[in-house]
Amino acid sequence: MSLVKKLELIGSNSILEFSQKHELREQVIKASREVIRNSANSIRAVHRNDLSKAESLINLAREQVIETKVILKNYPELYFTGYTLDAQKEYAEACFVYAVIANQELPLPEYLQIETASYLNGLAEGASELRRYILDSLRKEEVSRTEELMECMDEVYNVLVSIDFPDALTSGLRRTTDQLRGVLERTRGDLTMTLRQRRLEKLLGSKE
């Protein structure tokens, strides 16, 4: 085969390969966006105490996560990219928030069929999301679970801070864990102040 013919073959094969990968990439980007949207809406449903809706949205996200894995089964160079792993992280966050608030068993990463780094980062962001639930509960004067949720945030942080590996392996878990620590400190301060105030009010009320 002449050089010209060989170069033409290389060119046509390259175009075919990249066309196939581009099509798959577009499919996965679309599916990943749906995972992120459904995960975010699930968390919003949890905050509205619509747990049935939250569970339904998580199930939709799960189907889309599995779909991306099937599509990219033979293309690890496309699978291990930002949009795919970010979507998994958002899905893990939604699963964590739902499990904690609904008093369900926390699913493991292998059950969710996602990468460990995405799962751990999702836990960190899910624990931070509990701050919003705690503050909403305090505003509604529903404090029965606030200390329990605070303990849950602490437990997540204690686990994550023990996982000390390069960011290339953990997808920036150290930074996410540091952010969670700040959220923890603010939440603990808000919760402690509110509970002390309530105890003082009860004490003063009992003396009247």
Tens-level pLDDT at each residue, the chain (208 residues): 888 889 999 999 999 999 999 999 999 999 999 999 999 999 999 999 999 999 999 999 999 999 999 999 889 988 888 889 999 999 999 999 999 999 999 999 999 999 999 999 999 999 999 999 999 998 888 888 999 999 999 999 999 999 999 998 999 999 999 999 999 999 999 998 888 877 776 666 665 5
Backbone angles phi, psi at 156, to 5 degrees: -60, -45
Architecture, CATH, for domain 18-110 = Up-down Bundle (1.20)
Helix, strand, coil tally for the chain in percent (to 5): 85, 0, 15
CATH class of 115-208: mainly alpha
Predicted pLDDT at 35 = 97
Predicted pLDDT at 208 = 56
Predicted pLDDT at 115 = 95
Predicted pLDDT at 44 = 97
Query: Does 115-208 match 18-110 at the fold level?
Result: yes
Predicted pLDDT at 198 = 75
Backbone angles phi, psi at 200, to 5 degrees: -65, -45
Domain ranges in the chain? Answer: 18-110, 115-208
Predicted pLDDT at 201 = 64
Predicted pLDDT at 4 = 87
**Which of 81, 86, 93, 84 is CA-nearest to residue 40?**
93
Instruction: Indicate the angle between helix axes 116-139 and 3-47, nearest 10 degrees.
Output: 30
Predicted pLDDT at 162 = 96
Q: How many helices (H) and strands (E) are present in the chain, helices listed first? A: 9, 0
